[in-house]
Structure 1
């Protein structure tokens, strides 16, 4: 394919009158020989050979070859038949002697023909297969108080649930062996690696920096105006909310999953700092839950942590803030009578939310103002490391 594309390029140069009749004969294979044109690897085209000869002096050219996974070739390959070697040499001569030909025989105007290495394709395929399997809805619902309810799972708990899945374990070990560098890695470690960039926290204060939180407030105002339009049927003058930037998010992976309009594309919801005390692995929920499920998952976490682990208000507060954040959507989509529910889900959730706020003596303003504590541990470590490095010099003095 690479070789035939080259023949097309040089034939077109002739058709546009860029080449003389003699140059056409020298640089383009006769059509009768197209079937016998030898294979051309990436890096062996005429312009690439001419480019490679300047690679030693031009760092930008070296980077081009590295970026495309091409090996610089400075000599016409010996494996080609003489007639094709002569054609490629004539092309190189024209590139080096004609400015117009040199201008279009450049990387910007040539087909890239670059492809991902097999190892990278395999890693992506295995990772996608594992992630798709982890998103199986049955994993994220379970019986609780006799009813089917959403359940959050830590990475360790998820590993326990999947431990008897022979296919999943087989693919996970293949991924670990080929792409994590070690065989027999615990399943929980494999899961932690593949979900690391596939989750976004449940709470805005955990997703955004201060600049992002300010934009979030404007978006929430717009959503309320839109809901008001829906309720009244009256058209309102609704402002266009600001777009987000990568710098508005706490982590690059959150930005990658949300983008400038903050559209959720992540696979999982992360409940940071909400894992059981005895399990340090990250606590996850399924991003396929609807808003009612998300609220129920938070209520279940609040009940479990207060009843079973004795968590106080300070640790429960962000979970309550998460309920406050999701409740407008619960009212929007689950605010009518539900026969299966035998009631209005939004009303029951609102009543229980208010009960919990009263129990913990927190107001909605308190919850909106909640922010995670800023961590300074890494700075202290860096300072200690710097002091250790400077100590030998002080001792020598």
Structure 2
């Protein structure tokens, strides 16, 4: 992959950086070599093998083996005197076109319609087939660059037919050997392709002759036979279009749900209300029909399913089992110490005449008293700490919010029996306002302590963050909102005959 800017790579991804004076052509020449079957052969001899990636050891096919790309060892990669350029350039162009034509890009550019998606599907099929054909020529060109062929055997781009998986020279040779009972392989089955033993009739004569010549060379030349094997050839193992389209439509619908105007005010919604909002959106309704594959869409059911998979409950006891709650308490203690550390630093920086000012000696005494120089690192969560696998997949080992929506179980809005949700894009203050407003309405409607208590638990969890980030004097309310909500939680807790410890110990 050539990075032209704007990409974020995984920390373990090896990155090749050429000298500053290197041109784009220099990069593409190197990419052409590195993406060839010759380079794959070299890497599999030099790099460390990682096994078969969970496909099942029973297959034991060498082409299933993964390798650990090692940046240090890659520096030893041999560069021939001549290098490819035209084919890497064309492949790079086609790859960019392909990326811009996949379902995610199509629906991102304009609201989805069946016509646009179908046109893109045909274009992607053609682009992939052209890339398969061009990559095959790149492999054979590189054999010549590395001195493995006396004469070039790669054909010009305008002489190539579209090529599908299963139609490359080594695959035809493999299919013929399988048909003759000489070998057994799961290559075609694993890649969703059909073994081809006869050259396709629609191929141009020149290409047919070239492929037969390559097959003959695979049979007769030991070096070429070694390289033209499944384990060194590009697998072209892409996701099928229907899967990509479903993922793209799902993401588009979720984005549309997040963009609803109702989230601009801190007020909880129901799935039923969200469905009603979406029902008036013609573009969203078209996307919904495409997603479910029917004209008649049960919108509340669809919205409920979409939202459920992107929702995490608002309060920790709804997210965690007992083991997770123990870890959560450790995190809360760490946050408390970090806030105290910040407070000590802030008060030390105040002018000496300020009543809140701490002298260096006072600050040091506080640090020692609370062991602020040794704030413990809280434990990571594991999947078993969460009440649901969905919550773990959205939050992970550090319980970092990545969800789109907030779930509020065991409560309701009026007579609407569908799930109650909020928007995960709200800050702590908006979440508190939405939750407190809902709590007050439910209290006025006669909800009992069983429903109100968990709402207070969630609100109490927000108070430390409100006091940390939202405790300046609010110009509208004329109060410090962190202090306000702390007092509100205390008042409502007492009204239910409970204590803060009761909230702390509450479980669903």
Residue 476 of structure 2 corresponds to which residue in structure 1? 340
154, 158, 179: which one aligns with 1:29: 154
- Name the Cα RMSD after superposition: 2.8
Residues 188 and 194, structure 2, Cα contact 8 Å, conserved in 1 = no
Residue 386 of structure 1 corresponds to which residue in structure 2? none
3-state SS of 1:236 partner: helix
Residue 387 of structure 1 corresponds to which residue in structure 2? none
Residue 39 of structure 1 corresponds to which residue in structure 2? 162
- Greater shift, 351-360 or 103-112, is seen at 103-112
Partners of 1:115 and 1:243 lie apart in 2 by: 34
Residues 327 and 379, structure 2, Cα contact 8 Å, conserved in 1 = yes
Residues 65 and 72, structure 1, Cα contact 8 Å, conserved in 2 = no
Residues 187 and 230, structure 2, Cα contact 8 Å, conserved in 1 = no
1:290 and 1:54, CA in 2 relative to 1: closer, same or farther beyond 3 A? farther
Residue 146 of structure 1 corresponds to which residue in structure 2? none
Residue 146 of structure 2 corresponds to which residue in structure 1? 16
User: Is the aligned partner of 1:261 residue 2:398?
Assistant: yes
1:96-107 maps to which residues of 2 (within 5 A)?
101=224, 104-107=227-230
Residues 225 and 236, structure 1, Cα contact 8 Å, conserved in 2 = no
Task: Identify unmatched segments of 5+ residues in structure 1.
Answer: 143-149, 373-397
Residue 276 of structure 1: how far off its partner (Å): 4.0
Tell me the alpha carbon deviations over residues 161-220 of structure 1, each in whole angstroms, 9 at most, x when there is no partner.
3333333333323333x2xxx321232122122223111111112222333323322222
User: Is the aligned partner of 1:122 residue 2:242?
Assistant: no
Residue 77 of structure 1 corresponds to which residue in structure 2? 200
Residues 435 and 459, structure 2, Cα contact 8 Å, conserved in 1 = yes
Residue 271 of structure 2 corresponds to which residue in structure 1? 155
How many aligned residue pairs are there?
A: 350
1:165 and 1:79, CA in 2 relative to 1: closer, same or farther beyond 3 A? closer
Partners of 1:255 and 1:285 lie apart in 2 by: 19
Partners of 1:97 and 1:112 lie apart in 2 by: 24
Residue 110 of structure 1 corresponds to which residue in structure 2? 233
Task: Identify unmatched segments of 5+ residues in structure 2.
Answer: 1-130, 346-366
Residue 502 of structure 2 corresponds to which residue in structure 1? 366
50, 64, 71: which one aligns with 2:190: 64
Residues 208 and 248, structure 1, Cα contact 8 Å, conserved in 2 = yes
3-state SS of 1:160 partner: helix
1:322 and 1:98, CA in 2 relative to 1: closer, same or farther beyond 3 A? farther
Residue 145 of structure 1 corresponds to which residue in structure 2? none
Residue 392 of structure 1 corresponds to which residue in structure 2? none
Residue 359 of structure 1: how far off its partner (Å): 0.8
1:184 and 1:358, CA in 2 relative to 1: closer, same or farther beyond 3 A? same
- Greater shift, 189-198 or 95-104, is seen at 95-104
Residues 474 and 481, structure 2, Cα contact 8 Å, conserved in 1 = yes
Residues 47 and 95, structure 1, Cα contact 8 Å, conserved in 2 = yes
Residues 229 and 236, structure 1, Cα contact 8 Å, conserved in 2 = no
Residue 141 of structure 1: how far off its partner (Å): 4.4
Partners of 1:286 and 1:228 lie apart in 2 by: 30
